[in-house]
A and B are shown apart, each in its own frame.
Chain A
């Protein structure tokens, strides 16, 4: 059944994510991305957020793993819902 193979493949990629997250905290958690570095180069700082989000990604491995799992399931449900609604509207 192809769908089961797809699920297993995604599961393997998620396991790789859990391992990758540990490497992130070892090597790059303190580094900014390209936009952060561009802002730094220009002497520009983040403005005050207009909207305060209830969560963040966590500052250590267990917290980030928990947030990753929370986000995973929320995005999974939201994307499924969006696709489902689009499919229903089209019928």
Chain B
């Protein structure tokens, strides 16, 4: 879902940058107040792990593939602000070093995969009771991808309308196509994210008791409050 250069109308791309920079300003303030040095190694390793996981595309049928976005995974483990910081680092390095996603579209890519992905992933996960933790992870990670794709479709449609068809994609193609593809790709994201978190809960249960995550014990509400929420 990395938007390349030249696809979006410049006005839409600029709006993406403005929203992304505003979100970064908020994230920076929250991290300044709440960053715990003990979470640093996890944050760095998770960022690096999500980067490599994003390189693997899995087939979803019909000659289409998808890859893990990882926003819900990062937000569930670290909290939304640190999750967004992780996604910004990944997206910036993918763009600047590997040419994955255009530099003019970096703001929109961060909005779709970082901001929307982390907020949807984190708050949907937290809305589920502890005893339905895996269902919560599944729903959160699917919605994180699906809502990000919906935003991308809206950006494509807005670009097409603003530019009179010179940029973007007409709404009647952008919305159904993006929604259908990412509804399916989101299932892959949900299976992988639920699998990874179930694996981590098994081999390193403390990891799921990090401040961004819901307590595995399910008995202490204070453990469930994320400091950067």
Contacts and interface: CB of A to CB of B under 8 A. Distances in A.
The A interface is mostly helix, strand or loop, or mixed, namely: helix
A21 B55 CA distance: 8
Contact of B185 (A21, A33, A44, A55): A33
Given A50-B102, A78-B89, A87-B36, A39 B7 contact: yes
Contacts of B53: 13, 17
Given A86-B31, A87-B40, A7 B45 contact: yes
Contact of A28 (B39, B46, B59, B95): B59
A55 B206 CA distance: 37
Interface string A8-38: 1110111001001101100111011111011
Interface of A: 2-3, 5-10, 12-14, 17, 20-21, 23-24, 27-29, 31-35, 37-39, 41-42, 44, 46-57, 64, 67-68, 71-80, 82-84, 86-87, 89-90
Interface of B: 1-7, 28, 31-37, 39-49, 51-53, 55-59, 62-67, 82, 85-86, 89-90, 92-100, 102-104, 149, 152-153, 156, 169-170, 173-174, 177-178, 181-182, 185, 196, 199-200, 203-204, 206-207
